[in-house]
Structure 1
Amino acid sequence: MNFIIWIVIGGILGWLASIVMKTDAQQGMLLNVIVGIVGALLGGWMLAPLFGTGTINMNDFSITSLLVSFLGALALLAIVNLLRRGKIR
């Protein structure tokens, strides 16, 4: 059951991050899910200790964990944009 929740919430967070980073036209639904889940892992590794919370991958579905997962997805898209284009949009 948690796997399905990861896919749904990860997809939503990846989609929102792609809208903020203006890469939504280049990504499909599958890439949004991947960005959301991998971004949550990245956020959990980098940002969760700062906020003192978990992420969606750690079975913590609080507002702060969703924020950390969203910020991780934004960071992931920024890193991808930096490597692809040499600048962050």
Structure 2
Amino acid sequence: MNFVYFLLIGIVAGWAAGQIMKGGGFGLIGDLVVGVLGAVVGGFIFDMLEISPDGLIGSLVTALVGAVVLLAIVRAIKKA
């Protein structure tokens, strides 16, 4: 069941990151990938900053921050 929550958080974080970054997103699968990878990136960033979010909201914030950072990097590479 935790895997399902992880996927749902990834979808929501990927979609929200696409909205924050003023993009149309990458579709359901693309948003899932961005959100899941964003969760990993966000976890790494928060670990470096020694921030330990807890619970569903903390997981969503972590994934969202990571997804926004990931989208910024992907868009910067696409423009280059």
SS at structure 2 position matched to 1:33 = helix
Q: CA offsets per residue over residues 25-84 of structure 1, 9 Å max, x none?
A: x51100101111100100111123425215xxxxx5343332222110000000000000
- Mapping for residues 1-89 of structure 1, pairs under 5 Å: 1-24=1-24, 26-50=25-49, 52-54=51-53, 60-86=54-80
TM-score between both structures, scaled by the size of structure 2: 0.85
Task: Please say if residues 43 and 69 of structure 1, whose CA atoms lie closer than 8 Å, have aligned partners that are also in contact.
Answer: yes
TM-score between both structures, scaled by the size of structure 1: 0.77
Number of positions where the alignment pairs a residue of Structure 1 with one of Structure 2: 80
Runs of 4+ aligned residues of structure 1 deviating over 4 Å after TM superposition are none
SS at structure 2 position matched to 1:31 = helix
Unaligned runs of 5+ in 1: 55-59
Unaligned runs of 5+ in 2: none
Q: Percent identity of the aligned residues?
A: 36
